[in-house]
Homo-oligomer: A and B are copies of this chain.
Amino acid sequence: MEKIASGVYRITAGEPEKFTPVKILKPVPSENLDRLPDNPCPFGDGDIKKKCAEGSCTLEIPLGDDEDIYGFGLQLKSFRQSGRKKVIRVNSDPAADLGDSHGPVPFYLSTAGYGVFVDTSRFATFYCGGSKRKGSRQERENYPSVPNEEGHHFEHKAHSGNMFVRIPSAKGADVYVFAGSTMKDALARYNLFSGGGAFPPLWGLGILYRCWWHTDEEHVLSMAKQFRDEKIPCDVLGLEPGWQTNAYSCTFEWDSEKYPDPERMCREAAKSGYKINLWEHCYTHPTSPVFKMLYPLSGDSYVWDGIIPDFTLSEARDVFAGRHDEIVEQGIMGFKLDECDGGDYLCTGNWGFPEFTKFPGGLDGEQMRSELGLLYQKTMLRPFEKRNIRVWGQSRASHALAAPYPYVLYSDLYDHSDFIRGLATSALGGVMWSPEVRQTGSREELIRRLQAVIFSPLAVINAYMIPSPPWKQYDHDRNLAGDFLPDAQELTNMCRSIFELRMSLVPYLYEAFYVYYSQGIPPVRPLIADYADDMNVRDIWDEFMVGDSLLFAPVIWGRGDRRNVYLPEGKWKNFFDGTEYDGGKSYVFSPGLTEILLFARDESLVPFADPVLCSGADTVYDVSLRLYGKHGACRLIVDDGTSLRYRTEKPDVLLIETDGKDVAGFEPNERYRFKDIIAF
């Protein structure tokens, strides 16, 4: 066992493989990791056992009967993993609860206050205590069965075994143990070990609207104008597949008929404060200008007639980033990295590269399937890092050590429960997720989905299938036909209000993300992160801490308008009207359609800005201080909001503390002006 940082231990079981997340991504731990108090490793030397068999290796890691297990990155279908089996395999459209997801991570957290990261790019299987083994403590103690409701005929065992991790093809692995004082502290250490959480530019916290895939320059600019005319907040317009000469696979060349002058388009859009984001994937079409250069630097399989660049090779990164440097030079401010997951589920057939693909850098297809998302993300950051620009993009695949990468996951699936569950699970594995909103089946569905997406790391409206915004017409076919809703104006007003709530929270969220960066604590996280000792929250995947002061309980589409909200210990107040609730209890709410279940912790202070339409480098926010209780404090980050300077030079962290008497004491600065204190 080797101690590698404060409360972080590496235990090497057997012979680790040559290619693993740590070895491929080479994370640079945050310097703040070693500022945390030390904790002893929960496992002793020799506690982690290894058995190798033909073609695989299995680790046994202690697990107590009273521990509950969470993690494995983004998981759409389940939350608490105790007793379950999860295969860590990157996959698109993960329609079953097998472990597959866009961002699965071989990392788990225990309610006992530690985290375990198994450094492998293999499709490892985690058996989370569901296996009683011959010779085990559980057998010797005849651990009592738990009868289910059918009585003695149907006794099932509760989870009562150790954790087993089966790693195919490997002869061993490094196991990193994060010893926290709490589960949240363990998670924070994992994120700091990864490099600290991603810190968005201010504009990344605004609204991202992805345009119809049949769009052209004229249509993009007309959307830009429409949103400003109608006062719809929007920071980023996203272009979908149609912008290239060929999309499946990609050429990374503009279709000059639709986009005769991309620089002009970016310039025009920027005049109204917009950034332009481009969809693409990395499978490179034979007609791409970089195909020939990438051919020897790519895997030995094709995907959609395109080659797969091997981003472990610096030459491949140079060629690929070089081509994108030209695109960024035209004014593009971010990318949506699609299809880097691979599809075993897709109903229309499977796609992706096989596991037996060989890459010139040495990885096989299985390892690359795990790492492609992050390698691609890393490569695509280079044009921006070169320009000292922060970005905030989308990616459809992620894996271990993802925290510092400024990309938010998404999916082609759409079940709202799954989407909200994803918000909970992603936060426990160092990945970010957005429950994006597309067209819907009703106005109620549109509103409920929007109310949830604004509390995620990226507020995405993905209108790629519809030419007009869903608030003009939420129905796909009618939207295509240009047949707008009779009450489109009213619905537009309702949606605008939701977006404005997000924009009002930008200063608050910006600080929460700075905490993610500097302390490793995710800005939006399920209650279990903060309240691991409260047995009531162990299965609650649909309530979130947002920053340190807010608790958000989305009304999930498809589950009715009534919902149960459990408020943890302490006192809570309705964010909007201050109604007080005692914690440690559940309440049933039936919120009206425009009502959002948002609670502030008692004795807290929430900065709340007048909503802007978008955030520029020179945006100044007019902030009300919403005080819940007699006294509260909050922090605000004052920096340029757009550059990478925060990495080398700590931004100003403004501590605001008030007992509600007077706002006059708070001096304005280049980013914030203080309007008033609103006390609840």
Q: Which residue numbers of A lie inside 8 Å of B, CB to CB? A: 51, 53-56, 58, 83-85, 87, 95-98, 125, 127, 130-135, 139, 145, 152-157, 164, 166, 168-170, 241-242, 244, 246-248, 255, 300-302, 304-305, 307, 344-345, 347, 349-351, 353-356, 364
Is the CB–CB distance between A364 and B53 below 8 Å?
yes
Partner of A241, one of B154, B307, B349: B154
Residues of B within 8 A of A255 (CB): 153
Smallest CB separation, A56 vs chain B (Å): 6
State whether A345 and B97 are in contact (beta carbons under 8 Å apart), knowing that A156-B304, A304-B155, A356-B164 are contacts in the complex.
yes
Residues of B within 8 A of A247 (CB): 153-154
Is the CB–CB distance between B166 and A134 below 8 Å?
no
CB-defined A-B contacts under 8 Å, sample of 6: A97-B345, A98-B344, A132-B302, A133-B300, A134-B307, A153-B247
Is the CB–CB distance between B155 and A248 below 8 Å?
yes
Residues of B within 8 A of A133 (CB): 300-302
Is the CB–CB distance between A153 and B345 below 8 Å?
no
Smallest CB separation, A162 vs chain B (Å): 11
State whether A139 and B302 are in contact (beta carbons under 8 Å apart), knowing that A153-B248, A344-B98 are contacts in the complex.
yes
Is the CB–CB distance between B56 and A169 below 8 Å?
yes
Is the CB–CB distance between B55 and A170 below 8 Å?
yes
Is the CB–CB distance between A55 and B350 below 8 Å?
no
Is the CB–CB distance between A166 and B53 below 8 Å?
no
Smallest CB separation, A443 vs chain B (Å): 28
Partner of A246, one of B56, B95, B152, B166: B152
- In the bound complex, CA of A169 to CA of B125 (Å): 15
- In the bound complex, CA of A366 to CA of B131 (Å): 15
Smallest CB separation, A463 vs chain B (Å): 17
Residues of B within 8 A of A355 (CB): 56, 125, 166
Extra A-B contacts (20), CB below 8 Å, given A98-B345, A127-B354, A154-B248:
A84-B349, A85-B354, A95-B96, A96-B96, A96-B98, A97-B345, A97-B347, A98-B344, A125-B354, A131-B302, A132-B302, A134-B307, A135-B300, A153-B241, A153-B247, A154-B241, A155-B305, A157-B305, A164-B356, A166-B356
- In the bound complex, CA of A350 to CA of B126 (Å): 11
Residues of B within 8 A of A304 (CB): 155-157
Is the CB–CB distance between B344 and A56 below 8 Å?
no
Smallest CB separation, A194 vs chain B (Å): 27
Residues of B within 8 A of A153 (CB): 241-242, 244, 246-248, 255
- In the bound complex, CA of A139 to CA of B153 (Å): 60
- In the bound complex, CA of A241 to CA of B150 (Å): 11
- In the bound complex, CA of A139 to CA of B306 (Å): 11
Smallest CB separation, A137 vs chain B (Å): 13
Is the CB–CB distance between B301 and A132 below 8 Å?
yes
Is the CB–CB distance between B157 and A56 below 8 Å?
no
Smallest CB separation, A639 vs chain B (Å): 40
Chain B's closest residue to A18 (CB) is: B54
- In the bound complex, CA of A585 to CA of B248 (Å): 36
State whether A54 and B169 are in contact (beta carbons under 8 Å apart), knowing that A154-B248, A301-B133 are contacts in the complex.
yes
- In the bound complex, CA of A331 to CA of B127 (Å): 42
Chain B's closest residue to A244 (CB) is: B153
Residue among A133, A246, A349 facing the most chain B CB atoms (10 A cut-off): A349
Smallest CB separation, A227 vs chain B (Å): 26
Smallest CB separation, A335 vs chain B (Å): 17
State whether A349 and B83 are in contact (beta carbons under 8 Å apart), knowing that A246-B153, A356-B51 are contacts in the complex.
yes
Chain B's closest residue to A165 (CB) is: B356
- In the bound complex, CA of A599 to CA of B353 (Å): 45
Chain B's closest residue to A295 (CB) is: B134
Is the CB–CB distance between B356 and A53 below 8 Å?
yes
Smallest CB separation, A413 vs chain B (Å): 12
Residues of B within 8 A of A248 (CB): 153-156
Residues of B within 8 A of A155 (CB): 246, 248, 304-305
Is the CB–CB distance between B241 and A354 below 8 Å?
no
Residues of B within 8 A of A351 (CB): 130
Smallest CB separation, A444 vs chain B (Å): 26
Smallest CB separation, A359 vs chain B (Å): 11
Partner of A169, one of B53, B84, B246: B53
Residue among A125, A168, A347, A350 facing the most chain B CB atoms (10 A cut-off): A350
Is the CB–CB distance between A354 and B242 below 8 Å?
no
Residues of B within 8 A of A302 (CB): 131-134, 139, 157
Partner of A166, one of B127, B157, B354: B354
Residues of B within 8 A of A307 (CB): 134
Residues of B within 8 A of A344 (CB): 85, 87, 98
Chain B's closest residue to A123 (CB) is: B168
State whether A58 and B356 are in contact (beta carbons under 8 Å apart), knowing that A300-B135, A302-B133 are contacts in the complex.
yes
Smallest CB separation, A200 vs chain B (Å): 30
Smallest CB separation, A95 vs chain B (Å): 5
- In the bound complex, CA of A301 to CA of B355 (Å): 29
Chain B's closest residue to A58 (CB) is: B356
Is the CB–CB distance between B53 and A300 below 8 Å?
no
Is the CB–CB distance between B164 and A85 below 8 Å?
no
Smallest CB separation, A342 vs chain B (Å): 10
Chain B's closest residue to A342 (CB) is: B85
> What 8 pairs between A and B have smallest CB-CB spacing?
A55-B169, A55-B55, A85-B350, A96-B96, A132-B302, A153-B247, A58-B356, A134-B300
Smallest CB separation, A211 vs chain B (Å): 15
Residues of B within 8 A of A300 (CB): 133-135
- In the bound complex, CA of A130 to CA of B350 (Å): 8
- In the bound complex, CA of A131 to CA of B156 (Å): 43
Is the CB–CB distance between B132 and A345 below 8 Å?
no
- In the bound complex, CA of A467 to CA of B300 (Å): 59
Residues of B within 8 A of A170 (CB): 55
Smallest CB separation, A326 vs chain B (Å): 21
Residues of B within 8 A of A305 (CB): 132, 145, 155, 157
